[in-house]
């Protein structure tokens, strides 16, 4: 008898009809001979509705109280889902995050899970219950309800799967799995059958939001196998697992798994910074202090004891960054701060490139052939990212997707490079 954790997102429990559909999915899984733990998010727009209730009271609510408010959303879905399953003749019981033994640190609104006490869930499973747990929420040491931040229900599912040593963690949503690139942009984007945690992390970090990054990290750490698939179809989804598992199954890793992109980027350049030790540190520690998250960074070679530093931030942080940089530029005697908000990031991701040279060269060649200018480059072991003009993004993604043979059903990329 296997133990399976199933997680359903908010759009899967948005109304009574959908909740009943989820109930039947869960019952199928149970009847197939599994012990089943279900994690659900708040129904549909509930979280946004609750946030706007809070905004009508004050623009700056205490985070503890915000968590108390937001936790109600998931309590609504777990109780309704438990009712639906019971009405279909199976035993089901709902548990809040605190009741389920999910213990978090002291932060509110984006608490980190510290541990899981799975005893209550285990005893409920032993009594033949389907156990339904509220995602996104936890208990802190003060006895307060806290929440785990955006996408926190994924994290709940993964930590429960780890704590219960589940055989599988299934993440259901309204998309069918992980694709080689965004199917809304590239029509022949292909669903990926297997992908490694690291590739998935790079894809998520580059804007492919199938799964919350933190849950992938935790899944990797505890070796939780994730199966991402659609609530609304019976099609195969994507398995997210370790590199070793993938290599074992597929004999050889694919060179490139997918093309990710991110339009939410702004490029800043500080021109003519004095080339003395500690200047870069000063810039970035100052930005960190005001809460700006810097993504890519490039520093040019020094000329005349001056150099330029370029970096990207998200569009939301543009204003804050501009204000700080204007102060810093004066302080550090730089000549100018240039901001370009018409940029985008395109990334090629794949564990195969660890052991195969030539991916970067291929990427630059594809972009060059289409006359696309590369403004910045950054690389990791399994990812190469380029900043390009946002008007070139669509072409870039399309050409890279084709160039790395991702569109075709049967890929054999080794001959191609």
- Name the residue nearer to a second copy (CB basis): 100 or 349: 100
Residues 313 and 292: beta-carbon distance below 8 Å = yes
Residue 80 or 253: which CB sits closer to a second copy? 80
Count the alpha carbons within 13 Å of 15 in the hemisphere toward its beta carbon. Answer: 1
Closest by CA to 191, choosing from 219, 217, 229, 244, is 229
Q: Can you tell me the distance from the alpha carbon of 61 to that of 12, in angstroms, rounded to the nearest whole number?
A: 29
| Residues 93-105: b if buried by 16+ CB within 10 A, e if exposed | bbbbbbbbbbbbe
To a second copy, the closest distance from the beta carbon of 76 in angstroms equals 6
Residue among 33 and 143 whose Cβ is closer to a second copy: 143
Pairing outcome for strands 194-196 and 226-230 = unpaired
Q: Which is nearer to a second copy, 99 or 299 (CB)?
A: 99
Q: Tell me the three state secondary structure of residue 221.
A: helix
Burial class (CB in 10 A: 0-12, 13-18, 19+), 156: buried
Residue with tokens 């099609």: 235
Provide, rounded to whole angstroms, the least separation between the CB of residue 385 and a second copy: 41
- The CB-of-51 to a second copy minimum distance in angstroms stands at 12
Angle between helix 197-205 and 213-222 (nearest 10): 170
Task: Decide whether 51 or 318 has the Cβ nearer to a second copy.
Answer: 51
Beta carbon nearer to a second copy, 93 or 218: 93
The CB-of-343 to a second copy minimum distance in angstroms stands at: 39
Least Å from the CB of residue 136 to a second copy: 14
Contacts with a second copy, residue ranges (CB under 8 A) = 15-16, 19-20, 50, 53-54, 56-58, 60-62, 64-66, 68-69, 71-72, 75-76, 78-80, 82-84, 86-87, 93-94, 96, 99, 120, 143-145
**Other beta carbons within 10 Å of 59:** 7
Instruction: Measure the CA angle with vertex 85, ends 79 and 90; round to 5°.
Output: 130
Compute the least distance from the CB of residue 83 to a second copy, in Å.
4
3-state class of 304 per DSSP? coil
CA pair distance 273, 252, nearest whole angstrom: 47
For residues 266 and 252, what is the distance between their CA atoms, to the nearest angstrom? Answer: 37
Provide, rounded to whole angstroms, the least separation between the CB of residue 277 and a second copy: 46
Nearer to a second copy among residue 121 and residue 210 (C-beta):
121
């Amino acid at each position: 008898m296997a133990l399976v954790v199933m997680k359903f997102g908010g759009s899967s429990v948005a109304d009574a009809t959908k909740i009943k559909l989820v109930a039947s999915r869960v019952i199928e899984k149970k009847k197939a001979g599994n012990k089943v733990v279900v994690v659900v998010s708040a129904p549909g727009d509930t979280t946004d509705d609750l946030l706007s209730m809070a905004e009508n009271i004050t623009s700056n609510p205490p985070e503890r109280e915000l968590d108390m408010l937001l936790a109600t959303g998931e309590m609504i879905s777990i109780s309704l889902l438990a009712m639906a399953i019971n009405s279909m003749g199976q035993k089901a019981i709902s548990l809040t995050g605190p009741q389920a033994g999910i213990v978090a640190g002291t932060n509110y609104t984006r608490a980190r899970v510290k541990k899981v006490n799975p005893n209550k869930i285990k005893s409920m499973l032993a009594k033949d219950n389907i156990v339904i747990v509220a995602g996104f929420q936890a208990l802190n040491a003060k006895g307060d309800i806290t929440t785990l931040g955006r996408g926190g229900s994924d994290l709940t599912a993964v930590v429960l799967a780890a704590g219960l040593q589940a055989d599988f963690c299934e993440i259901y949503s309204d998309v069918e799995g992980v694709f080689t690139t965004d199917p809304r942009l590239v029509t022949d984007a292909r669903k990926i059958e297997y992908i490694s945690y690291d590739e998935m992390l790079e894809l998520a970090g580059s804007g492919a939001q199938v799964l919350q990054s933190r849950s992938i990290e935790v899944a990797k750490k505890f070796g939780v196998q994730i199966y991402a698939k659609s609530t609304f179809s019976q099609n195969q989804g994507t398995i997210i697992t370790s590199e070793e598992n993938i290599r074992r199954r597929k004999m050889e890793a694919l060179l490139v798994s997918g093309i990710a992109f991110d339009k939410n980027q702004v490029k800043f350049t500080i021109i003519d910074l004095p080339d003395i030790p500690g200047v870069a540190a000063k810039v970035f520690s100052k930005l960190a202090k005001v809460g700006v998250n810097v993504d890519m960074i490039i520093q040019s070679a020094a000329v005349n004891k001056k150099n330029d530093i370029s970096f990207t931030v998200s569009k939301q942080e543009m204003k804050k960054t501009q204000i700080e940089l204007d102060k810093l530029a004066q302080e550090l005697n730089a000549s100018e701060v240039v901001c370009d908000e018409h940029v985008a990031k395109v990334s090629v991701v794949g564990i195969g490139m660890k052991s195969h040279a030539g991916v970067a060269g291929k990427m630059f060649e594809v972009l060059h052939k289409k006359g696309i200018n590369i403004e910045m480059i950054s690389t990791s072991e399994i990812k190469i990212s380029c900043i390009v003009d946002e008007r070139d993004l669509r072409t870039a993604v399309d050409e890279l997707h084709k160039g790395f043979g991702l569109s075709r059903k049967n890929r054999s990329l080794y001959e191609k490079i």
